[in-house]
Amino acid sequence: KLSLVIERLLVVLKEGSGWRAIHGPDVAWSTVYAHFRRWTKEGIFAELSQTLPRESTLESRLGAMDSTHVKVHRSGCNPAGGQSAQAIGTARGGRNTKIHAIVADNGEPLAMSFTGGNNHDNPQARGLINAMDTDAGVGTLIADRAYDANATRAAIEAAGCDVCIPPKANRIAPATYDQATFARRHVVENFWEVLKRLRRVSTRYEKLKQSFEAVVHLAILVQHLRGQFQSAQFRRASSF
């Protein structure tokens, strides 16, 4: 019966279905949801996604840091403890959750955090850098102009990485950066695209931040096992 629970859970992940929509004579929707909540509270999805086999490299490699907005469905807009406590904020596009991540050039997520959609990228950078796996072998960290701040640059250098961030236009003494290296920042955008093929990630239906984090970790696990993160160029384009 556990295989049926996992099968229905994957349907929810891919199609964005409501929990009651997966009810059937072989397994009740409440059973699937109970398993999901228990595994979420125990941190099973996060642990599995973080223990996936990583591609080891002897050479230093690139990492890219960025964020993406996820629209919050009306069913997730009234969480216990208030919206801000559950990483929901109001931006120009309405209620959003923002996922921040550092992604290696082969598509491996190295660090991740969740905030409300009205939070700026740069304040989250130091936490991501400190949480980055030191064994990942990242030699250069790429980010866009939103991360151009002295504190962020210092944090990247303190982590033993070279900085590749284009300077803002108002910089008195703008720093130089390698444009060819910066062009490879697309790997983090590809990472978001791969995750958002799954509708439960592209739109947030969960009221609780903990539950949405579990959905994202499950999505990483599923897409990794399907080989979507195996190529640095993300050349594979199969449907789920």
Mean pLDDT value of segment 31-54:
89
pLDDT of residue 52: 73
Distances (CA, A) of 15 to 1, 23, 36, 131, 240: 21, 15, 16, 31, 10
Are 69 and 149 in contact, with CB atoms under 8 Å apart?
no
Alpha helices in the chain (DSSP H): 2-15, 29-41, 44-50, 122-131, 150-158, 179-182, 186-195, 199-202, 209-225
> Does the structure show a pLDDT above 70 at 201?
yes
Quick: pLDDT tens for 142-151.
999 999 999 9
Question: In a 10 Å sphere around its CB, with 0-12 CB exposed, 13-18 middle and 19+ buried, how is residue 171 labelled?
Answer: exposed
Among 142, 148, 94, smallest CA distance to 120 is for 148
> Does the structure show a pLDDT above 70 at 4?
yes
pLDDT of residue 228: 73
pLDDT of residue 221: 92
Assessment of whether the complete model's pTM goes beyond 0.95: no
- Cα distance between residue 195 and residue 202, in whole Å: 8
Are 188 and 65 in contact, with CB atoms under 8 Å apart?
yes
- Cα distance between residue 155 and residue 123, in whole Å: 12
- Cα distance between residue 215 and residue 41, in whole Å: 12
- Cα distance between residue 203 and residue 12, in whole Å: 12
Pairwise pLDDT comparison (134 vs 214), residue with the higher score: 214
- Binned at pLDDT 50, 70 and 90, residue 232 comes out as very low
